[in-house]
Amino acid sequence: MTQFLSELVRIVERKPIPSEATMLHGLPDVGLVGLIATSHIISQLKLTEIAYVDSDLLPPVVVLHEGLPHAPFRIFGNIELIATISEMAIPAAAIQPIMRALVDWGQSKKMRTMISIGGMPTPERQDIIEPKVFGAASTMSLLNTLSAKGVEILREGYMVGPYALIMRYCAERNLPAIALLAQSYYNYPDPEAAAVAIKELSKITELKIDVSKLLEKGEEIRLKARDVMKRTQRELTRMKKSQEYDLPLYV
Amino acid sequence: MSRRRKRPIFELMSEYMEDFEMMAEELIESAVVERPTWDVRSKCLEPLRNVFVTADEVIVTADLPYAEPETVKVEAISRDLIEIAAKMKREIRFHDFGITHRKGEFSSFRCQTRIPVPVDTKRMEIRFKRGVLEVHLPRKRGYPIRVK
């Protein structure tokens, strides 16, 4: 068992970690889009648990699956793909050190690209049948690649929360990072938005994931995800997520 | 000598209010024992919901997956309280979520929501689309103040 240590966060590796893999992030955020999408990808590709994130900044929680304890914040993977998910809301106060540690860890493992899947709060979401997905990137060349592959670019606006920090830390170090943000409900679990985000992901990666099961189970997921959504909403309020509705000022 | 930038009073007030709301929420969280979002005795689940206040109306939304559209009901309990209820298309058991250490099934949604500003509940309008309920409550108007 290897431990990757930062000041406040440790990433405990339970299996060998591939290098030069693509790293997906599916963390609790608006509409739980990233968490739902990444959990679906993990189950479709049968990725196995390879590491977990531990920190004194996280609540004292363990999640039981088939009777066995697991850290709620885990990293799954195969030889080409690594995926992080958290089955519990991440406290706003813990976001910065954890995201910094994840980016440090990804950099040490020479990850090819970090891709964050998330939601973009959209007040009129109820009237949108097929949500749009917008992309952001840490470097100009990556932004051009997204554009060339038909991803609509998020040109002006604020990003708030874990993905904002991944983007910032990666940009500082010139590491390739992408965020795919699907129009979604703010505080209702949104499997439809997760499905379109996965489809968009297939435009920029080799991943071909069937989303039919995800859409079929949409209502069940919405019901099951209520409690995680409720706790996530509290943290979103603490990190002032509603700032994403604001117009940025750059004269 | 550097001069402190004067900030608009509304900006300051809005920041104070946000901080105050956060403190109040934390105080309530620490004082009140959290209830589960389900009640086995009444077979009810508490839906996720939102309240938006605009210049003209208050919009309450609720996420009601599995709700039978014809059974969705919104009732004004008092001037500032509404109750949302709906029957589900099928009973959901703990077992359906892989939970075996609890017993019980749920057949409906129910919650009460407080409305933060005066509204005209008689003119309430309801819309239910793709599992999300939207309740529009027109705000009560005061009297206009003339600008001199």
pLDDT-derived band of residue B10, with 50, 70 and 90 as boundaries?
A: low
**Contact at CB, B132 and A220, closer than 8 angstroms:** no
- Concatenating the DSSP letter of every residue in chain A gives -EEEE-SSEEEEESSPPPSS-EEEEE-S-GGGHHHHHHHHHHHHHT-EEEEEEEETTS-S--EEETTEEE-SEEEEE-SSEEEEEESSPPPGGGHHHHHHHHHHHHHHTT-SEEEEEEEEE-TTGGG-SS--EEEEESSHHHHHHHHHTTPEE--S----SHHHHHHHHHHHTT--EEEEEEEE-SSS--HHHHHHHHHHHHHHSS-----HHHHHTHHHHHHHTHHHHHHHHHHHHHTTGGGGGSPP---
Chain segment A118-135, per-residue pLDDT in tens? 999 998 899 999 999 999
- Closest approach of B68 to chain A, Cα-based (Å): 12
Contacts of A220 in chain B (CB under 8 A): 65, 96
B12 or A175, which is more confident: A175
Chain segment A70-118, per-residue pLDDT in tens? 999 999 999 999 999 999 999 999 999 999 999 999 999 999 999 999 9
As a whole-number percent, the residues of chain B with pLDDT over 70 amount to 79
Q: What is the pLDDT at residue B148? A: 83
pLDDT at A3 over 70: no
Q: How many residues does chain B have?
A: 148
Q: What is the pLDDT at residue B2? A: 46
pLDDT at A1 over 90: no
Nearest alpha carbon to residue A117 among A236, A19, A28? A28
The one-letter code for the residue type at A65 is H
Q: What is the pLDDT at residue A224? A: 93
Q: What is the pLDDT at residue B31? A: 61
Q: What is the pLDDT at residue A179? A: 97
Domains belonging to chain A, first-starting first, are: 2-242 (3.40.50.10900)
Residue A64 bridge partners (DSSP)? A69
pLDDT-derived band of residue B35, with 50, 70 and 90 as boundaries?
A: confident
pLDDT at A5 over 80: no
Q: What is the pLDDT at residue A243? A: 83
Mean of per-residue pLDDT scores for chain B:
86
Chain segment B104-141, per-residue pLDDT in tens? 999 999 999 999 999 999 999 999 999 999 999 999 88
Q: What is the pLDDT at residue B64? A: 97
- Closest approach of A186 to chain B, Cα-based (Å): 9
Domains belonging to chain B, first-starting first, are: 38-138 (2.60.40.790)
**Contact at CB, B50 and A186, closer than 8 angstroms:** yes
pLDDT at B13 over 80: no
Residue B25 parent element (H or E): helix B9-31
Residue A82 bridge partners (DSSP)? A23, A77
Q: What is the pLDDT at residue A240? A: 85
Q: Is A110 on the interface with B (CB under 8 A)?
A: no
**Contact at CB, B132 and A126, closer than 8 angstroms:** yes
Residue B52 parent element (H or E): strand B49-53
